[in-house]
Amino acid sequence: MSTSSAAVPITTTTSSTTTTTASCSNCPTTISATADPGSTPGAVGSITQTRGTNSTTGCATLTITCTNTDGGQTVFQLFFNGTNCGTAPSPIPTGSATITLQCNTAGQWTFTGPNGANACSGFGTVVGNNLVLPITAVTCLAA
């Protein structure tokens, strides 16, 4: 008795699906960060920007710190395309101020703060009790 092994045809069906994943790491390396000309002369010592990654979301972050050489109150004025979006952090610290911006999937730096009416509310997204605002520039105010 002879046995022959014939190749068994195997049909493989593959479907090709292209998935585009929006990136939350495509924000600019830095943001426009300047000292307010109305600040106490010489009070703004330095403004630093440090890029990082949010360990929970994997999205890019930008931590901005402004130091006040006089040790007085220091705060950031936040802007979106020239519109004043308010100040942060709150309460206003002394000596230095630090804020952290998050990169969104649209490639914009965003700041999350309490939901309240301000000139930028129409640009932001409400998440719970917070308003997530796109930010294009910050100014450090030191007194």
For residue 42, what are the contacts with CB-CB under 8 A and spacing of at least 6? Answer: 69, 70
Q: Do residues 137 and 31 make contact, with C-beta atoms less than 8 angstroms apart?
A: yes
Both structure tokens of 58: 């994997």
Assign 9 a pLDDT band (cuts: 50, 70, 90): very low
Q: Return the residue matching tokens 């495509």.
A: 26
Q: What is the DSSP annotation of 51-102?
A: EEE-TTT--EEEEEEEEETT--BEEEEEEETTEEEEEESSSPPBSEEEEEEE
How many C-alpha atoms does 82 have within 13 Å on its Cβ side?
A: 0
Q: Does 56 or 2 have the greater pLDDT score?
A: 56
Instruction: Supply the pLDDT for residue 22.
Output: 58
- Residue 114: Cβ within 10 Å count: 9
pLDDT tens column, 39-97: 888 888 899 999 999 999 999 999 999 999 989 999 999 999 999 988 999 888 999 99
SS3 141: strand
Q: Could you tell me which of 75, 54, 57 has the C-alpha nearest to residue 66?
A: 75
Instruction: Supply the pLDDT for residue 62.
Output: 97
Q: Return the residue matching tokens 């030191």.
A: 142
Give the mean pLDDT of 92-104. Answer: 94
DSSP at 121: G
Q: Do residues 142 and 70 make contact, with C-beta atoms less than 8 angstroms apart?
A: yes
Instruction: Supply the pLDDT for residue 143.
Output: 86
Give the mean pLDDT of 1-6. Answer: 48
Instruction: Supply the pLDDT for residue 115.
Output: 72
Instruction: Supply the pLDDT for residue 23.
Output: 84
pLDDT tops 80 at residue 141: yes
